[in-house]
Structure formats: structure tokens, C-alpha cells
A and B are shown apart, each in its own frame.
Chain A
């Protein structure tokens, strides 16, 4: 599907715009990943109270060997350059895992819905019952059961207990399924309407404005990066699921899948090895657009001060300084430019991908 790197670089289809975008993106990722090891004179949360609201490029203050605020500082003396570079780190560390989570969830549910449809997913009543019981068992012992008299609040022991619960639930499911399938009336198969169920959930998620959903969920949890990642993944998976589902519906009808079925591959093998690789193209593109979307969402959230803790350096937080003091143009311009550049270059690369995969 995608040729080797040299081929892509040599291909004439890459115009200047894409090259700039790729260069910016590499710079962005490189800066984000190596931020803690870069020779920055200031850390992003360090307040230099002697230089408050300092505009950029104050050369008269520059002395070699001494720390210098290249891009100026905000109202409490935080270095803007350090904040931009660490902000890139935050943007990357939020958008990438969130999108990856959303993609995994979306691909899983979308391919289930698309491949099996409403009638394809057949299980015996006994297996369904066993699954329900095992899930209830798991939920109770994982979340509700009070085990502190066994574990003495020791973290390692708690983890072992939870793992044990997981293993036991799986074993319980297998055992119950075997027991139930002994009875003939429980061996009858019913089809689970996976497509309708998953579509309804997708509809539910997409009918609410995303920002509203994230905000109202953020009402109840303490701000933290993990929460923001979780919430974003939670709100982005429906789009990917919908894409994968529609691709699956198309692929399902193709002759090669019928051949695979005729050869006796299991459903799992067919989905993972035969169908999904052909459904991935739109997912990759949606992934890229999702990342650019999420970077904007992340900075919007930190700009609003919701969900992201105030001590996390972020572009949105830097721009918030601009809102507080409208004469500090550098606080708006530089983070704004970097943010737009990141969003634009991710989108440009996504479009390049479309052209490379679909040369028309």
C-alpha cells in the first residue's frame, strides 16, 4: 500500500507544501519528544519574577552564558519558548494516545457491526447467559468487593487480586458455557443485533456537541491528563467506528471474502487478516484529521481551564495569558502560529497520504 520511504521522498507527487508540512511535523514531534533533554534555560513552570511580561527579543538584556527569554515571558514570568516546546509535548501526548485509543475502540466496534450486521453474530443462549454472569461476577469483584482485609491496602497485592478476578471471570465464563451447553434448550442459537446496538450508541454520541460532552463529563472528575485522554477517546471513537462499519459493509460483499469463508477461515481470522487491512485507508486519514482536531480541542480546553490541570504547560494556557493582557501580543502570536502550523501540517500530511494511496 505505502511504498518505502525513499520512493515516497523521490516521488514527484510531493509538492513544496507537503514538504514544508512534513518538515514542520518532524520538528514538532522531535521537539515534543526531546523537550526534557533540550538545553532550555528555563523550565515551563518556572516563574522568573524579575522579568514579567517581557516582550520577545530584548537584546539589550542578552548576555552570553546567562539564561535569556528568547520569546519573552507571560504575566508571572514563565518563559514562552519553554512553554511552547513543552506545550507541543502536551499536545502530542494527549492527541496521540487519545486517538490511538479511539481508533482501537472504533475499529473493534465498527468492524463487529459492519461484518456481522444484525443477523450474523450467532451465539448459543447458554454462552450469552454465561457471558452475562461472568461479566457481573467480574464487575462485582473488580469494583465493589472490599478486599482491604486481604490486601492491607498494599498496591501490589491489590493488582494481583484484580488480575486474579480477571482470570477467574474468564474461567467462570468457559465453565458456565460448557455446563449450559449440556442442556439442549440452551444450545439453541440466537443472533445478537450488533449493528443496531452499535449504531444506536454511535448516534447517541454524535448527537451531542463534542465540546459539551467533554465539558459535562469533566464536571465530575478532577482535572488530569489521563481524564482528558479518556474523554477524548470516548468522544472520538464513534466517527472511526462509523467509517470502519461502512467499509466493512462494502468489503463483506466482495468475492474474496466469500472465498475466505468458503476456505473455512474463522470469522476472527477473516476480519483481522482479510477484511481490516482493506478498510484501513480511510481510518488512517481519519486518524490524522482526528489528531489535528484533538490538538485544537486540547488547547481549547486548557484555554478554558477545564479538564487540563493548570500546571500542565500547553499552548492554550499560553494563549490564555494573551486574553488576560491583550497588549502582550507575543503570547497570542507564537503559540497561535505553532498551533495552526501543527494543525495545518497534520492535515497536509493526511491529504498527501490520500493522494499517495489513491493516485487519481
Chain B
């Protein structure tokens, strides 16, 4: 559990810290949902959106920033001006003076907008005023002011006044520049009303928020996919272990020398082939149109449970899952079989096996009743230990076979940087892992009488 908390916290904080990622996605999503209205967003709408996503609050319980940095910069609208102000801060460091200058610029902009379009030098004034919001060097700004005064014959008192005020504030700013403030640390305590705290509270309530791609609740997005993945994972796990146990027992029979010579190099080669290569070739040869067209290429079929009856739907789904299952099993079998085989060999070397053999038990009985029982513990350990790589395998398999499961969802979400869904998936994997540990403990309990004695 601390693992889950740590990883999701890191994912959350990183997703908010990296500039642009989160806010841009959110804005894009909103824009998509209301058409072109997003382009003419007003400041009020921007602030509302910040509040809706909780981004107007500080990120963490405390924050460390430079002394020059104000804590309300992200509320400035439009977003372009935030960069402008940031540049001013880097150069001058004196926030009150910067803010005064910025406000006077805003007033100037407003007054410029009031000028009738047919006035002389209208275009020039517009352009130069816009340029003011991009320039931070005092000399350049001054020359812009000079051009504004000299080249435009505007005598509108309000506008002139605003220009003068801006000029004065600029002088003030250059005079009172304190760039060294950028080098002083400042420590802020933000209290409990911060983004992280709010996120953590809802996270603990399993409220994972909304997908950034289609604004659906993450839990419902996950619910649609978890079923398929679980079906794939559990059935492949059972198959792998059943096959691996049988195969290792088969190979351990003493008269199987020639089999061993063939099978173990084959397993060795198979183990080194990456899963996606195996899957693609299986796909081509067993499902491709040019070869054996035995299985469906992708998807899970379109039969729904309601219309076709439970059994038909289930068997249809199983039919679609056969090929992916086959790939997963093929890819995992070598490793698991080798592990079992090695532990069987270890057990077979011990003395009680010699005793059993000398009692005249058949080789099969020795293997199944005496040796196999003693490798149950490593089998169970591997059962849980193998889950992570099986999950990794399922991701690849689901992408290749287009199965709407968690792995494909993960790949898609990563490509779209849809971080709430990614976080939900991490939670799912963690839950799976915890569940498998629980299962393993239960299995230990049933398999090994020694663990039972300790408890009672």
C-alpha cells in the first residue's frame, strides 16, 4: 500500500509540475466539448476553470520558491502574459514594481482599444502596444514609448495619461530593480487547502477523477476493461502453471533423456524471443488470411451478454481470447518450466526420494506423490512473483490483438498523457498484486502443514 501511495503521489505531482501537460490537456478537452467557444475564453472563464480543476490552489502543503516569485502568477490571464511577467521577474525581481508596471500596461491596452479604428496610425499603435507585452529590456521599452509619443498625433487625454503612467512605472521599475531577489529562497506554508491534499482525499475514497480524453469517470473507464484483462490474466496463469508443472514432471522422468535434449534448447530459444515478435508470427500463421485462417485476428467479438444468452457470449469471448492466451502461455512457459524443473531436480537429489525408490515405488508415483509435493512452495512463490511480467506481457498482447483491456488502455492513455487513467491503472495493478499475495498466503497455508501449526 505505501508503494501505491508513493507512486501515485509521484505521478500526480509530476503531472502537475510539468508545465503545460495538465492544463493544456484540460483546455483542449474543454475546447473540444464546446466547439470554438474556447478560443474566446474570458478571464472569468479561465479562473472558473482553474477553480474547477483545483488549480487555483497551491500544489502542496508547503512551497519553496525564489523571493521574487509571487504565488498568484497562475491566475494571470491570458496565459501568454504569465510568461511575460515571468521574464520581467527574472530581470527585475521586484514584484510590487512589476505588478504596478503591468497594471499600467493593461490600462494602456484598454485605452488603446477605445481609440476609434479610423484614427491615424491606428495599426501602428496596436502593434506597438502588443509589442510592449513581449519586451522586457528597458531600452527597447523606452524606444517603443518614444515611437508611440512621436509618431502618433493622438491627443486623447486618457490615452496620453495612460502612456505617461506606464512610462513612469517603467522608470520606477528600472530604478527599484532587485534582481538578487531571484537568488533568495522563500518558504511558504499553504495549509491543508492545497491540490495534493484534495487529490489524496478523493484518491483514498477511490474517486479517481475524470479521464482527460473523454471526460468519463476513470472508474467506469476501468470497469469496462478490467474484466477482459482479468479473464486473460487468470486463465493464462492457470494454463501456464498447469502446463509447466506437467512438462517439468514429464521431463523429470528418468527415461526422458532424448526428450530433454530437444525440449530444453527449444525452451531456451523461445525464452529469448520477445513476446511481441512471437505474438505477431502467431497472428500471421494462425489468423492471417494468407495462411491458416483459424482464429479471429483481433477484438473480442461484438456479441453482448443480453442479446445472445450467457453461454454463447462467453464461448464467443473465449474463442477470441484463445490466440492471445496461446501467445502469453508460449512466452511464459520456458521460464516457469525451467524454474520448476530445477527445483524438482533439487528435490530428486534428496535422500527421501532414494528411500521411496528403494521401496519399489513406480517412478511416476515417486515424482507425483513425493517430489512434486515438495516443490509446491516454490511453485506458489513463483505464482505471485510471476504476475508483474505477466502483466507486462498482457499489455503487449492486448495492443497487438486489439483486446479492449487495461493494457491497451494504458498504452493509449500514455500516448495521450491521460494521467488520471494511468493512475487508476497503477492502482488496479497494485490491487492485483495485493490480491495475489493474499492468495499465495492462503495457498501456503493449505500446502504446507508447518505454516498451519504456527497459527493454531
Contacts and interface: CB of A to CB of B under 8 A. Distances in A.
Contact of A329 (B21, B284, B392, B429): B284
Nearest to A223: B415
Interface in A136-159: 140-141, 144-150
A296 interface: yes
B21 A208 contact: no
A207 interface: yes
Contact of B414 (A144, A218, A316): A218
A292 B272 contact: yes
B183 interface: yes
Interface string B269-307: 100111111001101100011100000000000000000
A220 B284 CA distance: 34
Contact of A303 (B3, B276, B410): B276
B433 A207 contact: yes
Candidate in A147, A150, A211, A343 with the most chain B CB atoms within 10 angstroms: A211
Interface string B78-93: 0000000001011111
Contacts of A329: 284
Contacts of A216: 7, 11, 410, 414, 422, 425-426
B74 interface: no
B132 to A, nearest CB: 20
Interface stretch (A24-32, A46-54, A173-181, A320-328): A320-328
B277 A340 contact: yes
Contacts of A347: 272
Contact of B3 (A146, A204, A220): A204
B415 A306 contact: yes
A140 B272 contact: no
A344 interface: yes
A189 to B, nearest CB: 29
Interface in A314-357: 316, 319, 322-323, 326-327, 329, 332, 336, 339-340, 343-344, 347
Interface stretch (B44-52, B62-70, B97-105, B202-210): B62-70
B411 interface: yes
Nearest to A299: B274
A347 B183 CA distance: 52
A209 B411 contact: no
Contact of B429 (A140, A208, A323, A332): A208
A344 B277 contact: no
B280 A149 contact: no
B396 interface: yes
A149 B88 CA distance: 10
Interface in A280-322: 292, 296, 299-300, 303-306, 316, 319, 322
Interface residues of A, number: 45
B389 A209 contact: yes
Contacts of A304: 395-396, 399, 411
Given A209-B429, A212-B410, A146 B21 contact: no
A296 B274 contact: yes
Contacts of B400: 323
A212 B429 contact: yes
B414 A219 contact: yes
A208 B284 contact: no
Contact of A300 (B276, B288, B391): B276
Contacts, number: 145
B37 interface: no
Nearest to A329: B284
B276 A141 contact: no
B280 A343 contact: no
A212 B3 CA distance: 14
B15 A212 contact: no
B228 interface: no
A144 B65 contact: yes
A149 B399 CA distance: 49
Contacts of A319: 276-277, 280
B141 to A, nearest CB: 16
Contacts of B399: 304
A140 B388 CA distance: 37
Interface string B4-32: 00110001001100100100000000000
Contacts of A323: 280, 400
A59 B97 CA distance: 76
Contact of B392 (A207, A212, A327, A336): A212
B171 interface: no
Given A212-B395, A215-B395, A216-B426, A344 B68 contact: no
A347 B272 CA distance: 8
Interface in B326-378: none
Contact of A141 (B15, B183, B290): B183
Contacts of A303: 276, 396
Nearest to B423: A216
B316 interface: no
Contacts of B7: 204, 208, 216
A132 to B, nearest CB: 14
Nearest to A203: B3
B241 interface: no
B9 to A, nearest CB: 12
A344 B65 CA distance: 51
A81 to B, nearest CB: 19
A19 interface: no
A133 to B, nearest CB: 12
B66 A146 contact: yes
B281 A220 contact: no
B183 A340 contact: no
B396 A215 contact: no
Interface of B: 3, 6-7, 11, 14-15, 18, 21, 64-66, 68-69, 87, 89-93, 179, 182-183, 185, 269, 272-277, 280-281, 283-284, 288-290, 388-389, 391-392, 395-396, 399-400, 410-411, 413-415, 417-419, 422, 425-426, 429-430, 433
12 contacts: A144-B185, A146-B89, A203-B3, A207-B3, A209-B389, A209-B391, A219-B15, A219-B422, A305-B415, A319-B276, A326-B284, A336-B273
Interface of A: 140-141, 144-150, 203-204, 207-212, 215-216, 218-221, 292, 296, 299-300, 303-306, 316, 319, 322-323, 326-327, 329, 332, 336, 339-340, 343-344, 347
Given A216-B425, A299-B276, A343-B272, 11 more contacts: A140-B185, A147-B183, A149-B93, A203-B3, A209-B388, A210-B389, A212-B392, A212-B429, A215-B414, A219-B414, A340-B277
Top 8 nearest A-B pairs (CB, nearest first) are: A211-B392, A209-B388, A149-B179, A146-B182, A296-B274, A148-B90, A336-B277, A343-B272
